[in-house]
Amino acid sequence: MCAICGCVGAAESSHQHHHAYDHSHDTARLIRVERDLLSKNNEYASLNRGRLRDNAVFALNLMSSPGAGKTTLLVRTVSDLMARWPIAVIEGDQQTSVDADRIRATGAPAVQINTGKGCHLDAHMVGHAIGDLLPEPRSLLFIENVGNLVCPAAFDLGEAHKVVVLSVTEGDDKPLKYPDMFAAADLMLLNKADLLPYIDFDLTACCAAALRVNPRLQVLILSARTGDGLEAWYAWIEGHAGQLPPPAVRLP
């Protein structure tokens, strides 16, 4: 709205002027803003993180290319750990509730977020999903991001840790080709390791590339299909989730 005559801005009306005088609409001025483009997302992420921490909910954000085996890994993980922890899952996909249906078949509660044309989950969507799920105090929350090795890396969801799943069929050069994802993650799971004897995948080169991008990255090698290596993954989860403080307040 114009401060001088109270007329609305050009974007809100055709803004036809019939004044007999000129009040210099064209005088431009500069406003210094200097704010991060992700600041709104980061505010929502902070809210999510505080809410999860207050309820001692340990949240992991799983990211990978499409087809790396995130859902298969989650179905197996949920089935194996649900006797030890209450578990809830947030599933992100552009379309369908196929993944949430697969999780619910294990007996764990799951919410599906369909992003439509969106290529990643953001903290605002995840906040609503947490509100729908109301994870129990002292529970695990898995967030399966949209299959995409690029965009989800930039969006903090309020999780405790980001986990990147890379399947060995994708090639050992991915950490250098898509460095932001590997730089953002705390843990890399190398999935489909049962296929290693049949493909040209240089495990040493892949790990070296990932560590070059992110020297503090931890790496576990596993197969969600055969179950090899899953105990180390479960030990990692329990080791980190066990550090949670007791719940402060219940989710509203």
Partner 1 sequence: MHELSLMEGVLALIEVERRAQVFSRVRTVRLSVGALGHAEPEALRFCFDAVVSGTVADGATLEIDIVAGQGWCQGCERQVPLPERYAGCPICGSPSVRLTHGDELRLAELEVN
Residue 47 lies near partner 1 (rule: CB under 8 A): no
Instruction: List, in order, residues 6 or more apart from 219 with CB less than 8 Å away.
Output: 187, 188, 190, 207, 210, 211
* Cβ-based nearer residue to partner 1, 84 or 212: 212
The least distance separating partner 1 from the CB of residue 191, rounded to whole angstroms, comes to 23
Q: What is the CA radius of gyration of the chain?
A: 23
Residue 176 lies near partner 1 (rule: CB under 8 A): yes
Q: Which of residues 94-153 bind partner 1 (CB under 8 A)?
A: 118-120, 122, 150-151, 153
- Which among 65, 251, 80 is positioned nearest to 144, based on CA atoms? 65
> Tokens for 169?
């069929």
* Stretch of 98-106, 159-167, 178-186, 218-226 lying at the interface with partner 1 (CB under 8 A): 178-186
* Cβ-based nearer residue to partner 1, 7 or 251: 7
Rounded to an integer, what distance in angstroms lies between the CA atom of residue 141 and that of residue 139? Answer: 7
Contact by Cβ (8 Å): 187, 199: no
Rounded to an integer, what distance in angstroms lies between the CA atom of residue 75 and that of residue 224? Answer: 9
* Stretch of 38-46, 73-81, 94-102, 238-246 lying at the interface with partner 1 (CB under 8 A): 38-46
* Cβ-based nearer residue to partner 1, 42 or 169: 42
The sign one gets for the Cα dihedral 90, 124, 69, 187 is negative
The least distance separating partner 1 from the CB of residue 87, rounded to whole angstroms, comes to 28
List of residues contacting partner 1 (CB under 8 A): 1-3, 7-12, 15, 25-41, 118-120, 122, 150-151, 153-155, 176, 179-180, 183, 212-213, 215
